[in-house]
């Protein structure tokens, strides 16, 4: 029987709500959202002597930050060719450099704060799901080298068995700079580090209204009010009506993961001999990796965010997909299934900036383990230094829905899901 439970939560004692402290009346910065973005920002601000409170609706680390695949990746969600078209070559270069810096940020924080989360530069493997997808891989590697001086390597179909124990794919690209970690252990360590630096973290403190009088912000929460000089929003796929203008720019999309029972060492080695972070080239993509000899297999099995129904359906869909990729796993038990919500902007780009005096970092599009950690830090620095407009991720506009046809309730998800399936069939 597969449990609807986040497997990662069984590997660490997550922050809980057993010891709620009163909210401070006044702070310099109030951070809304207690995930990688909010905690990384809080750690940075507190280290610079700022009085900072993190307000989290549920418990610290409750959101995507403790539910994800732990893939600590270079690059952005859109291809770098698309990013050049969208933002121009110079900005694209700064954005790509940010993505490399983001993995360094995670590595540095893990080392500085002694966070026991299994971080390592395992490298990622991007696999071609169809023969024609592989046709562009050689070009892609040359393009990344020429435009970004970033060295990645083509893996031919013949060589692929040295990387993955599946005959389902038609070649790949390896990027050795990417890493992997256990996200629940990492977010728990990050929370501890933020507190150690002097930030106060508050579970069960959902912000319910956010007002401004003169230069100060007044945040009403479920358990009291906080007055702050500045506010940073890091609510990702859970962005709600308290920041309505931001909510209308973010599409919440579900992503789901299963974890198998433990495999033997031999089988684990056969499936992923180099322990890579693996994802495929479909629009409806699968992503998978090993952790502690379990296969952690994720995908966009349903487009709607997590609930009992979408999680149950995803367990079946993902198990089928996993066995298609790895028939060797057909008799293995799937012990855990869970879901979480991703935040997509309408241009699939990440956006940081200031809107009505409120700072934000949003739109990670499933690419936020490294990036949210890094942008939490760099947006916090920019808040203090007063130069958010110079941040690379603030250098292009943050679009809303075409024709404004979106109020934060994603009525179009079934159509988007169907459209992705059609694209996968056509391309």
- Kindly state the smallest distance separating residue 298's Cβ from ligand FAD, in Å: 5
Closer Cβ to ligand FAD, 299 or 426, answer by number: 299
- Kindly state the smallest distance separating residue 306's Cβ from ligand FAD, in Å: 8
Closer Cβ to ligand FAD, 33 or 408, answer by number: 33
Closer Cβ to ligand FAD, 96 or 364, answer by number: 364
- Kindly state the smallest distance separating residue 64's Cβ from ligand FAD, in Å: 4
Euclidean distance between CA atoms 31 and 406, whole angstroms = 26
- Kindly state the smallest distance separating residue 168's Cβ from ligand FAD, in Å: 20
Angle at 380 between CA 13 and CA 18, to 5 degrees: 25
Please report the sign of the dihedral spanned by the C-alpha atoms of residue 300, residue 71, residue 47, residue 15: positive
- Count CA atoms closer than 13 A to 313's CA, side-chain side: 12
Name residues whose C-beta falls within 8 Å of residue 380's C-beta, 6 or more positions apart in sequence: 29, 40, 41, 42, 44, 45, 232
- Kindly state the smallest distance separating residue 248's Cβ from ligand FAD, in Å: 15
- Kindly state the smallest distance separating residue 266's Cβ from ligand FAD, in Å: 26
Backbone angles phi, psi at 411, to 5 degrees: -65, -20
Q: Which residues are near ligand FAD by CB under 6 A?
A: 32-38, 55-58, 62-65, 67-71, 73, 206-207, 234-238, 240, 242, 255, 257, 298, 340-342, 364, 366-370, 372
Closer Cβ to ligand FAD, 141 or 257, answer by number: 257
Write the DSSP symbol of residue 78: S
Token pair 């952790």 is found at 291
Closer Cβ to ligand FAD, 161 or 312, answer by number: 312
Q: What count of residues does the chain have?
A: 427
- Kindly state the smallest distance separating residue 85's Cβ from ligand FAD, in Å: 23
Please give the sequence-ordered ranges of beta strands (E in DSSP) within 99-147, or none if there are none. 124-127
Euclidean distance between CA atoms 135 and 118, whole angstroms = 35
Q: Sheet containing 124-127: give its strands across.
A: 3-4, 334-345, 250-260, 294-299, 286-291, 277-280, 124-127, 172-175, 153-155
Closer Cβ to ligand FAD, 64 or 191, answer by number: 64
Answer yes or no: are the C-beta atoms of 393 and 95 closer than 8 Å: yes
- Kindly state the smallest distance separating residue 256's Cβ from ligand FAD, in Å: 6
Q: Name the closest residue to ligand FAD (Cβ).
A: 368
Closer Cβ to ligand FAD, 56 or 195, answer by number: 56
Answer yes or no: are the C-beta atoms of 375 and 87 closer than 8 Å: no
Closer Cβ to ligand FAD, 159 or 271, answer by number: 271
What residues pair up with 243 in beta bridges, in sequence order?
Answer: none
Euclidean distance between CA atoms 176 and 165, whole angstroms = 19
- Kindly state the smallest distance separating residue 355's Cβ from ligand FAD, in Å: 16
Closer Cβ to ligand FAD, 68 or 105, answer by number: 68
Answer yes or no: are the C-beta atoms of 259 and 322 closer than 8 Å: no
Q: How far are the Cα atoms of 25, 163, 169, 264, 295 from residue 152, in angstroms, in the given order?
A: 51, 14, 18, 31, 25
């Amino acid at each position: 029987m597969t449990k609807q439970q986040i497997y990662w939560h069984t590997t660490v004692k997550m922050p809980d709500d057993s010891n709620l402290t009163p909210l401070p009346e006044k702070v310099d910065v109030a951070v809304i959202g207690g995930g990688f973005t909010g905690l990384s920002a809080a750690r940075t601000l507190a280290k610079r002597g700022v009085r900072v409170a993190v307000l989290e609706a549920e418990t610290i680390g409750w959101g995507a930050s403790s539910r994800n695949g732990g893939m600590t990746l270079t690059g952005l969600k859109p291809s770098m060719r698309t990013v050049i078209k969208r933002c121009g070559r110079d900005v694209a270069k700064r954005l790509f450099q940010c993505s490399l810096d983001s993995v360094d940020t995670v590595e540095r924080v893990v080392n500085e704060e002694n966070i026991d989360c299994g971080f390592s530069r395992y490298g990622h493997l991007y696999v071609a799901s169809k023969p024609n997808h592989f046709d562009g891989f050689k070009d892609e590697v040359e393009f990344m080298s020429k435009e970004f001086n970033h060295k990645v390597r083509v893996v031919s179909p013949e060589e692929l068995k040295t990387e993955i124990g599946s005959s389902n794919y038609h070649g790949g690209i390896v990027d050795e700079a990417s890493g992997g970690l256990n996200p629940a252990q990492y977010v728990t360590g990050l929370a501890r580090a933020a507190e150690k630096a002097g930030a106060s973290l508050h579970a069960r403190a959902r912000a319910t209204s956010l007002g401004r009088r003169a230069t100060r912000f007044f945040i009403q929460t479920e358990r009291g009010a906080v007055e702050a000089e500045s506010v940073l929003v890091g609510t990702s796929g859970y962005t709600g009506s308290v920041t309505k203008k931001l909510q209308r720019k973010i599409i919440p999309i579900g992503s789901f993961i299963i974890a198998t029972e433990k495999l033997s060492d031999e089988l684990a080695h056969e499936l992923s001999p180099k322990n890579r972070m693996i994802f495929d080239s479909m629009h409806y993509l699968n992503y998978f990796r090993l952790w502690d000899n379990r296969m952690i297999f994720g995908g966009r099995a349903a487009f709607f965010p997590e609930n009992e129904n979408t999680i149950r359906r995803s367990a079946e869909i993902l198990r089928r997909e996993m066995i298609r990729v790895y028939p060797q796993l057909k008799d293995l038990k799937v012990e855990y299934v869970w879901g979480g919500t991703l935040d997509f902007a309408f241009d699939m780009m990440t956006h940081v900036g200031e809107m009505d005096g409120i700072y934000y970092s949003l739109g990670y599009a499933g690419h936020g383990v490294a990036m949210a950690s890094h942008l939490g830090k760099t947006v916090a620095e920019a808040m203090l230094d007063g130069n958010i407009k110079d941040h690379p991720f603030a250098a292009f506009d943050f679009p809303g829905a075409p024709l404004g046809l979106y109020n934060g309730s994603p009525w179009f998800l079934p159509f988007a899901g169907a459209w992705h399936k059609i694209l996968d069939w056509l391309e």
